[in-house]
Amino acid sequence: MKSGVRLLIISTLALIFFGVAAFFTRDLIFGGVVGTYEQAAADRNSYNDKWVSYDVVACLGKYAEATETTNLIPTGHTYYYVVWMKDGSFMPLAVSKKADREYLDALTNATYDYIDKKTERIEMDPKTFTGTVKSQETKAKNYYDEALVKMNILGKTTHKIYYELMDCSASQTYYRLLVGGVFLIPVLGYTAAFASIAKSKKKPSKEEQYLPK
């Protein structure tokens, strides 16, 4: 089988595979916000890989940090925070963007100023976060529990403690760029395949006919 035809078959299979993957993640790529964190946490199956939002009004600080690596080179960071919810409950939230982290760090300071009665209210405006709801990894969950113990929350509150993670570390733009980059692979494969096939069909010149093969 000629290399051009082989590349054409591989590119077609890759396009089918990526197309199926994109179909099953279409809500992440094209969908809008369909609910709130509370709704998704209560019904994970219905909100799997769908965008939800939550208005964060108070934060009790960062409890974990993860570094993503590619070939031992750091490529990204995720920061985990304990959010004090509007109804007095608690939830875990993960972010990666610098602006989100800076906001949550500043909100943490404003929240403790309120707790310590330095201010009469939390003197920062709420911010709406958009993400997906998923289970925490075991290590992150353990850090979450440790943080709740240090904050005198675990076992000492009547308010609900949520364990479902609201993951805001990736945006819809991220997924669209990722899908665009992935689909570029079979497109480039098609281009190379057609170029190879066209080259193999090209009639050799008189000079080329007498070159050694």
**133-159 residue pLDDT tens:** 999 999 999 999 999 999 999 988 889
Residue 196 lies in a domain: no
Q: Domains in the chain: how many in total?
A: 2
Q: Residue 158 has what pLDDT? A: 87
Query: Are 115 and 169 part of one and the same domain?
Result: yes
The Cα–Cα gap between 8 and 210 comes to: 31
pLDDT at 26 over 80: no
Q: Residue 16 has what pLDDT? A: 62
Query: Are 46 and 75 part of one and the same domain?
Result: yes
DSSP string for the chain: --HHHHHHHHHHHHHHHHHHHHHHTHHHHH--EEEEHHHHHH-TGGGTT-EEEEEE--EEEEEEEEEEEETTEEEEEEEEEEEE-TTS-EEEEEE-SHHHHHHHHHHHHHHHHHHTTSSSS--S--EEEEEEEEPPPHHHHHHHHHHHHHTT-TTS-SS-B--SEEEESS-HHHHHHHHHHHHHHHHHHHHHHHHHHHHHHSPPPHHHHTS--
Q: In the chain, pLDDT over 70 holds for what percent of residues?
A: 62
Residue 26 lies in a domain: yes
User: Which amino acid makes up residue 45?
Assistant: N
Q: Residue 48 has what pLDDT? A: 87
Query: Are 82 and 116 part of one and the same domain?
Result: yes
Query: Are 108 and 8 part of one and the same domain?
Result: no
Does this model's pTM top 0.75? My answer is: no
Query: Are 58 and 163 part of one and the same domain?
Result: yes
Query: Are 48 and 147 part of one and the same domain?
Result: yes
Give residue-wise pLDDT tens across range 160-206: 999 999 999 875 455 555 555 555 565 655 566 556 656 666 655 55
Which residue, chain included where needed, has tokens 């994970």?
44
In the predicted model, what is the mean pLDDT of residues 202-211?
Answer: 55
Q: In the chain, pLDDT over 90 holds for what percent of residues?
A: 52
Q: Residue 71 has what pLDDT? A: 47
Residue 186 lies in a domain: no
Give residue-wise pLDDT tens across range 114-131: 999 999 999 999 999 999
Query: Are 100 and 15 part of one and the same domain?
Result: no
Q: Residue 205 has what pLDDT? A: 57
pLDDT at 102 over 70: yes
Query: Are 24 and 110 part of one and the same domain?
Result: no
Domain that holds residue 21: 1-30
C-alpha closest to that of 129 among 153, 163, 101, 89: 101
Residue 156 lies in a domain: yes
Q: Residue 197 has what pLDDT? A: 59
